[in-house]
């Protein structure tokens, strides 16, 4: 399940369905993924789609979202 957190001051790895995201290694089981939604209203359908697409591309063990935007990009590894 994807959870809301305060907007982190961090750089994004790329875009997930057009939204900036970043991943960080959590354990041998996978990564934590964060998505910045900006001003977009986070409907359950959107959150489900973001999480589903991320999980098909990466080994996600935890997923979060926030409003706002990243402070930049450190890579451009997009996930569609």
Q: Tens of pLDDT along 22-73?
A: 999 999 999 999 999 999 999 999 999 999 999 999 999 999 999 999 999 9
Question: Can you read off the two tokens belonging to residue 68?
Answer: 């706002």
Q: What is the pLDDT of residue 28?
A: 95
State which H helix or E strand residue 57 sits in.
helix 44-57
Q: How confident is the model at residue 13 (pLDDT cuts 50, 70, 90)?
A: very high
pLDDT given at position 1: 86
Q: How far apart are CA 30 and CA 42, in angstroms?
A: 24
Q: What is the per-residue pLDDT for 63?
A: 97
The beta-strand segments (E) located in 5-68 are 14-16, 19-27, 30-36, 60-66
Given a contact cutoff of 8 angstroms between Cβ atoms, the answer to whether 72 and 47 are in contact is no
């Amino acid at each position: 399940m994807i959870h809301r957190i305060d907007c982190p001051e961090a750089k994004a790895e790329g875009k997930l369905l057009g939204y900036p995201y970043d991943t960080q290694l959590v354990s041998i089981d996978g990564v934590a993924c964060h998505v910045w939604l900006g001003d977009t209203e986070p409907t359950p359908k959107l959150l489900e789609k973001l999480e589903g697409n991320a999980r098909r591309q990466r080994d996600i063990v935890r997923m979060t979202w926030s409003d706002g935007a990243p402070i930049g990009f450190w890579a451009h590894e997009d996930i569609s």
